[in-house]
């Protein structure tokens, strides 16, 4: 519209035709109908305070005013109401004046709430009562507002470690509603803890905390004198630009941005609860046909048990061991290189594929191969499967053995006895289920718009891009985002619960283990006898009563799944605003 | 020998820092697509798709994308987490996070590590605890696969829902298109006295 028409920053609750939803600055001129109405209303509740002497006869600047019973001074932080906004805006009053038409105006420098700038926070994690001071060049640093839009005073403490800032005492900090320690630069769009010298023509010292010694009145006088020059500037500025309409967008453009970190209501907890109650029993059908082979393997078993103690002994003594030829060198000789997928397929068909899990997370494929060669004296080719989620405590690997017998033997042994790996993790093995990655499987989220392609009669190529906020695809993307976040939460809940149960059990093994290690280490250094077995039985007797504990843990374990699911509910409440 | 291992490991860790792990990638996405997609943010030096063997259900392909330097990787991950990034226009946004050493196939062993294995016999009182742990593991894995299945169901539900809305939108736009084309809109505007052009 033309410059002569006035649109008011929609801070005033007046429904009229000219109020636009975007904050457009007013140069107060040709009094608006709505404005004069308001002026009359508030004449009674508004009263100016101390006046600042300036040259300008048209614009009267003040240091304070009383509005609706509350006295406001310069440098006060105020809550401002904006129509349609969910929350009040917070700004710091740096100037206040009355124009020649009688309209009361103030200039505020904005504080951003964390939600306003959540897209630009990057790694910074703000607190709930933290604000960011606007700075830099650009829109959103400050605005001129009608003073009637103020709804209350706000106590904002500045905790910035700047030499120009006086730090507040603890009691003052406790009284504060919010605190500020960083600025948000609207030009660079980033958080910084370095305060510039001037923010929007205001010296930054004035934006910091007040020295608590001087009552506000005195300080004002002093700053008034020194900043008198600045105050003088202001009136001339407004006089100069009466016909221009400055468009200063309030922090609205930040608030309207999409927030991928949507406040996900954690109503998924009941669903997660339901999931865990219905549990599937794993079916290890491999067990059946292995039983027949057990009898034939009995001799091997004994062979292995005899080997076990010396194996342990070797680990205890700090003797330089001659490792068996490392598996990696071997594999080059006996396994001709096929691409892994084909290997796996073949292995699956031949029955030599085993899925090993409960590995330590730091184990690599080579480690696994080494472990298997040490424990079973068989060669194998392993590949570690990366874990799905960062909270998962279980490491998986696919192992291909040379022959089916090897595979069956290993599985049988691991079932009957426990091979403990790393820091107390007994390996579990099962027949691997191999699934060909199905390319034709409908990937959820795939929307094929073939009809579009036909219509345009050319190869419509969908480029990869970031979705803009006003498109249909954006809405869909947001839904997916929400689902992704939700799923992250429920996976996290599951894994954390599992990790807790797991570590509890693991501690028990480790406890026993270290006890044994300590005692048997002493034994071994004293006497280099290989008759460890009688010594071990002596050590074990005191630990026998501890066998009660595993039973108790069994009870705890079964009731475990319920509790971790409840925990996320309380943990996630802060996200619900 | 030792220092060589350490060097290898250090070089590997360096690579890990430069790499990011993407998932929720549509199966139709190929190397070239990823490369062009991230061209705007930095140069991609290596792409490795992680094949999925054990899970019958899966939520998208996963890939390890190596970039030129750590800074590029960080900036891309920031973008991916603040804005929904649609790979080749599919409505399901791609997710990314920093890579971890375990994700790599060719992870060299940490220098100075020793692999410890020991057998626990049934006669050993620890055996019970170990068995408990094994059963716990099995149970957990079952829980995980169940959750995965449920998750897939949720995803399919959402996908169906979106497909329907999209179809609705498409039909709406088709209709609008057709009336604009065949003159119905002009007749209607004359009838209602509404000005069609943007004056």
pLDDT computed for residue A114 by the predictor:
85
Read off the pLDDT band of B56 (50, 70, 90).
low
CB contact under 8 A, A390 and B100: yes
Q: How far is CA A242 from CA A1, A5, A27, A31, A53, in A?
A: 16, 12, 6, 13, 22
Q: At which of A167, A191, A206 does a domain end?
A: A206
Q: Best-predicted range by mean pLDDT among A456-460, B2-6, B151-155?
A: B151-155
Give yes or no for A370 touching B (CB within 8 A).
Answer: yes
* Closest CA–CA distance from residue B186 to any residue of chain A (Å): 24
Q: Is residue A12 part of a domain?
A: no
ipTM of the modeled complex: 0.79
Residues A206-220: what's their mean pLDDT?
51
pLDDT computed for residue A214 by the predictor:
38
pLDDT > 60? residue A558: no
The CATH fold of domain B3-103: Alpha-Beta Plaits (3.30.70)
pLDDT computed for residue A509 by the predictor:
66
Q: Is residue A112 part of a domain?
A: yes
Give yes or no for A53 touching B (CB within 8 A).
Answer: no
pLDDT computed for residue A257 by the predictor:
38
Q: Which of residues 102-121 of B touch A (CB under 8 A)?
A: 102-103, 105, 107-110, 113-121
For every residue of chain B, DSSP letters joined together read -HHHHHHHHHHHHHHHHHEEEEEEE-TT--HHHHHHHHTTT--EEEEEEE---S-SS-SSEEEEEEESSHHHHHHHHHHHHHSPEEGGG-SS--EEEE--GGG-TTPPPPTT----EEEE-TTSTHHHHHHHHHHHHHHHHHHHHHHHHHHHHHHHHHHHHHHHHHHHHHHHHHHHHHHHHHSHHHHHHHHHT---S--
Q: Which residue has the higher pLDDT, A339 or B16?
A: B16
Query: Which of A279, A311, A463 is nearest residue B143 as measured by Cβ atoms?
Result: A279
Q: Which of residues 3-32 of B touch A (CB under 8 A)?
A: 24, 26-28
A38's CB contacts (< 8 A; 6+ apart) are A12, A14, A146, A148
pLDDT > 80? residue A185: yes
**Shortest CA distance from B99: residue in chain A:** A390
Give yes or no for B49 touching A (CB within 8 A).
Answer: no
Read off the pLDDT band of A516 (50, 70, 90).
low
pLDDT computed for residue A213 by the predictor:
39
Q: Which of residues 472-491 of A touch B (CB under 8 A)?
A: 472-474, 476-481, 483-484, 487, 490-491
Q: Which of A359-363, A533-537, B58-62 has the lowest mean pLDDT?
A: A533-537
Read off the pLDDT band of B194 (50, 70, 90).
confident
Domain coordinates in residue numbering, chain B: 3-103, 116-199
CB contact under 8 A, B119 and A281: no
* Closest CA–CA distance from residue A168 to any residue of chain B (Å): 35
Q: At which of A190, A206, A222 does a domain end?
A: A206
List the domain range (segments joined by +) for residue A109.
42-206
pLDDT computed for residue A422 by the predictor:
65
CB contact under 8 A, A260 and B84: yes
CB contact under 8 A, A394 and B27: no
Q: Best-predicted range by mean pLDDT among A53-62, A143-152, A299-308, A476-485?
A: A143-152
Length of chain B measured in residues = 199
Q: Which residue has the higher pLDDT, B54 or A82?
A: A82
Contacts of B56 in chain A (CB under 8 A): 433, 435
pLDDT computed for residue A423 by the predictor:
64
pLDDT tens for each residue of B165-178 = 888 888 898 888 88
Q: Which of A17-21, A46-50, B66-70 has the lowest mean pLDDT?
A: A17-21
pLDDT > 50? residue B36: yes
Query: Which of B36, B85, B146 is nearest residue A466 as measured by Cβ atoms?
Result: B85
Nearest to A565 by CA among A269, A274, A278: A269
pLDDT computed for residue A95 by the predictor:
86
Nearest to A367 by CA among A405, A395, A345, A338: A395
**Shortest CA distance from A273: residue in chain B:** B147
Q: Is residue A195 part of a domain?
A: yes
Q: Which residue has the higher pLDDT, B70 or B27?
A: B70
* Closest CA–CA distance from residue A406 to any residue of chain B (Å): 18
Q: Which of residues 525-554 of A touch B (CB under 8 A)?
A: 540, 543-544, 546-547, 549-550, 553-554
CB contact under 8 A, B143 and A449: no
pLDDT tens for each residue of A220-238 = 333 333 333 333 334 344 3
Percentage of chain B modeled with pLDDT above 70? 83
What is the number of structural domains in chain A? Answer: 2
Read off the pLDDT band of A444 (50, 70, 90).
low
pLDDT > 60? residue B142: yes
Beta carbons within 10 angstroms of residue A32's beta carbon: 21
pLDDT > 50? residue A284: no
CB contact under 8 A, A420 and B117: yes
Give yes or no for B53 touching A (CB within 8 A).
Answer: yes
pLDDT computed for residue A517 by the predictor:
62
Rounded CA-CA distance A112/A509 in Å is 52
Read off the pLDDT band of A391 (50, 70, 90).
low
**Shortest CA distance from B60: residue in chain A:** A443
pLDDT > 70? residue A514: no
Q: Kindly give the interhelix angle for A365-376 and A327-334, rounded to the nearest 10 degrees.
A: 90
Percentage of chain A modeled with pLDDT above 70? 48
CB contact under 8 A, A547 and B26: no
pLDDT > 50? residue B188: yes
* Closest CA–CA distance from residue A354 to any residue of chain B (Å): 11
**Shortest CA distance from B85: residue in chain A:** A466
Residue pair B196/B186 in contact (Cβ under 8 Å)? The answer is: yes
Q: Which of A4-18, A282-296, A450-464 has the lowest mean pLDDT?
A: A282-296
Q: Is residue A136 part of a domain?
A: yes
Q: Best-predicted range by mean pLDDT among A36-40, A52-56, A195-199?
A: A195-199
Give yes or no for A361 touching B (CB within 8 A).
Answer: yes
Query: Which of A280, A396, A464 is nearest residue B86 as measured by Cβ atoms?
Result: A464
Q: Which of A85-94, A211-220, A509-518 has the lowest mean pLDDT?
A: A211-220
pLDDT computed for residue A44 by the predictor:
58
Give yes or no for B189 touching A (CB within 8 A).
Answer: no
Give yes or no for B58 touching A (CB within 8 A).
Answer: yes
Q: Is residue A143 part of a domain?
A: yes
pLDDT tens for each residue of A306-363 = 443 443 333 333 333 344 444 444 444 444 445 666 777 777 777 777 777 777 777 7
Give yes or no for A333 touching B (CB within 8 A).
Answer: no
Q: Kindly give the interhelix angle for A228-240 and A216-226, rounded to the nearest 10 degrees.
A: 60
Quote the tokens at residue A506: 């693991």
Nearest to B145 by CA among A342, A355, A51: A355
CB contact under 8 A, B83 and A260: yes
Q: In the 3-class helix/strand/coil scheme, how is A381-419 assigned residue by residue? A: EEEEECCCCCCCCCEEEEEEECCHHHHHHHHHHHHHCEE
- A109: helix, coil or strand? strand
CB contact under 8 A, A544 and B125: yes
Residues B23-39: what's their mean pLDDT?
78
Give the CATH number of the domain where residue A104 resides: 2.30.30.490
pLDDT computed for residue B32 by the predictor:
82
Q: Which residue has the higher pLDDT, A326 or A474?
A: A474
pLDDT > 60? residue B197: yes
Q: Which of A177-181, A561-565, B1-5, B137-141 has the lowest mean pLDDT?
A: A561-565
Read off the pLDDT band of A181 (50, 70, 90).
confident
Residue to substitute from A277, A416, A444, A514, interface B, most B β-carbons within 10 A: A444
* Closest CA–CA distance from residue A134 to any residue of chain B (Å): 21
pLDDT computed for residue A432 by the predictor:
67
pLDDT > 50? residue A573: no
Q: At which of A206, A238, A267 does a domain end?
A: A206
């Amino acid at each position: 519209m033309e410059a002569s028409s006035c649109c008011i920053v929609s801070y005033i609750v007046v429904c009229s035709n000219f109020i636009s939803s975007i904050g457009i600055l007013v140069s107060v001129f040709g009094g608006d109908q709505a404005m004069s109405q308001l002026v009359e209303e508030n004449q009674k509740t508004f009263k100016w305070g101390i006046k600042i002497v300036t040259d300008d006869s048209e614009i009267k600047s003040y240091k304070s005013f009383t509005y609706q019973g509350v006295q406001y001074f310069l440098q006060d932080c105020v809550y401002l109401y904006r129509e349609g906004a969910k929350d009040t805006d917070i700004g710091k009053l740096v100037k206040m004046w009355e124009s020649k038409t009688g309209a009361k105006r103030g200039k505020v420098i904005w504080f951003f709430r964390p939600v306003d700038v959540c897209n630009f926070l990057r790694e910074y994690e703000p607190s709930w009562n933290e604000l960011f001071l606007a700075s830099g060049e650009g829109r959103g640093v400050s605005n001129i507002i009608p003073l009637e839009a103020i709804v209350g005073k706000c106590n904002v403490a500045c905790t910035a470690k700047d030499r120009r800032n006086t730090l507040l005492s603890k009691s003052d900090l406790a009284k504060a509603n919010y605190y500020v320690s960083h600025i948000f630069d609207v030009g660079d769009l980033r958080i910084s803890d370095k305060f510039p010298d001037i923010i929007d023509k205001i010296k930054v010292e004035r934006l910091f905390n007040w020295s608590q010694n001087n009552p506000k009145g005195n300080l004002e006088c002093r700053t008034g004198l020194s900043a008198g020059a600045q105050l003088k500037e202001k009136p001339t500025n407004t006089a100069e630009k009466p016909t221009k309409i400055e468009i200063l967008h309030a922090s609205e453009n930040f608030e309207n941005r999409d927030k991928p970190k949507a406040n996900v209501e954690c109503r998924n907890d009941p669903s997660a609860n339901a999931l865990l109650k219905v549990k599937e029993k794993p079916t290890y059908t491999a067990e059946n046909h292995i039983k027949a082979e057990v009898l034939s393997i009995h001799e091997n078993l004994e062979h292995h048990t005899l080997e076990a103690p010396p194996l342990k002994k070797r680990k205890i003594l700090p003797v330089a061991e001659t490792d068996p030829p490392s598996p990696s060198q071997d594999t080059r000789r006996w396994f001709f290189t096929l691409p892994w997928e084909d290997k796996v397929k073949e292995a699956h068909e031949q029955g030599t594929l085993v899925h090993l899990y409960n590995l330590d997370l730091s184990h690599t494929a080579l480690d696994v191969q080494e472990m298997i060669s040490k424990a079973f004296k068989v060669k194998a080719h392993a590949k570690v499967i990366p874990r799905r989620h960062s909270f998962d405590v279980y490491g998986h690997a696919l192992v291909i053995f040379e022959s089916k017998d090897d595979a069956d033997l290993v599985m049988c042994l691991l079932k009957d006895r426990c091979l403990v790996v790393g820091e107390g993790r007994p390996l579990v093995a099962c027949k691997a289920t191999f699934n060909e990655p199905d390319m034709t499987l409908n990937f959820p989220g795939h929307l094929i718009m073939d009809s579009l392609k036909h219509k345009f009669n050319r190869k419509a190529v969908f480029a990869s891009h970031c979705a803009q906020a006003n498109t249909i695809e954006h809405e869909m993307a947001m839904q997916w985002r929400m689902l992704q976040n939700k799923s992250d939460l429920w996976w996290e809940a599951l894994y954390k619960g599992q990790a807790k149960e797991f570590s509890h059990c693991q501690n028990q093994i480790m406890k026993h283990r270290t006890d044994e290690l300590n005692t048997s280490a002493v034994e071994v250094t004293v006497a280099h006898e290989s008759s460890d077995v009688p010594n071990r039985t002596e050590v074990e007797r005191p630990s026998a009563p501890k066998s009660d504990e595993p039973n108790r843990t069994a009870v705890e374990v079964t009731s475990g799944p319920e509790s971790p699911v409840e925990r996320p509910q309380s943990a996630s409440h802060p996200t619900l605003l | 020998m030792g220092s060589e291992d350490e060097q290898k490991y250090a070089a590997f860790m360096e690579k890990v820092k430069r790499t990011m792990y993407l998932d929720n990638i549509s199966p139709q996405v190929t190397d070239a697509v990823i490369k062009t997609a991230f061209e705007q943010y930095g140069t991609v030096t290596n792409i490795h798709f992680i094949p999925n063997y054990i899970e019958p259900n899966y939520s998208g392909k996963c890939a390890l994308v190596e970039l030129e330097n750590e800074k590029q990787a960080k900036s891309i991950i920031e973008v991916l987490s603040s804005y929904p990034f649609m790979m080749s226009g599919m409505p399901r946004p791609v997710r990314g996070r920093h890579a971890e050493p375990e994700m790599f196939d060719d992870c060299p062993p940490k220098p100075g590590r020793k692999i410890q294995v020991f057998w626990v016999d049934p006669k050993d009182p620890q055996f019970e605890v170990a068995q408990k742990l094994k059963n716990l593991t099995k149970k957990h894995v079952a829980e995980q696969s169940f959750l995965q299945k449920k998750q897939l169901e949720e995803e399919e539900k959402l996908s169906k829902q979106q497909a329907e809305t999209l179809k609705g939108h498409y039909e709406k736009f088709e209709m609008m298109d057709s009336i604009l084309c065949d003159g119905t809109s002009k007749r209607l505007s004359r009838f209602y006295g509404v000005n069609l052009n943007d004056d």
